[in-house]
Amino acid sequence: LSEGTEIREYIIGDSGFPLLPYLIVPYEGKELSEPKVEFNKRHSATQIVAQKALARLKEMWRIIQGVMWRPDKHRLPRIILVCCLLHNIIIDMEDEAQDDIPSSHEHDLDYQQQKCESVDIKGVCLRDKLSLYLSGRLPP
The pLDDT tens digits for 42-52 are 999 999 999 89
Q: How far apart are CA 78 and CA 135, in angstroms?
A: 37
- Mean pLDDT calculated for residue range 5-34: 87
Alpha carbon distances (Å) from 53 to 27, 62, 83, 84, 134: 23, 14, 12, 10, 23
Q: How confident is the model at residue 62, as a pLDDT?
A: 81
Q: What is the largest CA-CA distance in the chain?
A: 49
Question: Looking at per-residue confidence, does 79 or 1 come out higher?
Answer: 79
DSSP bridge pairs for 19: 119
Q: How far apart are CA 11 and CA 5, in angstroms?
A: 18
**What is the average pLDDT score of the chain?**
79
User: Is the pLDDT reported for residue 99 higher than 90?
Assistant: no
CB 21 within 8 A of CB 126: yes
State percent of the chain over pLDDT 90: 19
Q: How confident is the model at residue 24, as a pLDDT?
A: 92
- Residue 19 backbone phi and psi in degrees, to 5: -80, 120
User: Is the pLDDT reported for residue 103 higher than 80?
Assistant: no
User: Is the pLDDT reported for residue 111 higher than 70?
Assistant: no
- Mean pLDDT calculated for residue range 76-101: 76
Alpha carbon distances (Å) from 104 to 51, 60, 107: 9, 12, 6
Q: How confident is the model at residue 120, as a pLDDT?
A: 86
- Mean pLDDT calculated for residue range 61-88: 77
Strands (E), 84-136: none
| Angle, helix 34-60 to helix 121-134, in steps of 10 degrees | 100
Reported confidence tier of residue 98, pLDDT bands at 50, 70, 90: very low
Average the pLDDT over each of 4-8, 29-33, 59-63, 107-111 and give the range with the smallest value. 107-111
Q: 47: alpha, beta or left, given left = phi > 0 and alpha = psi -120 to 50? A: alpha
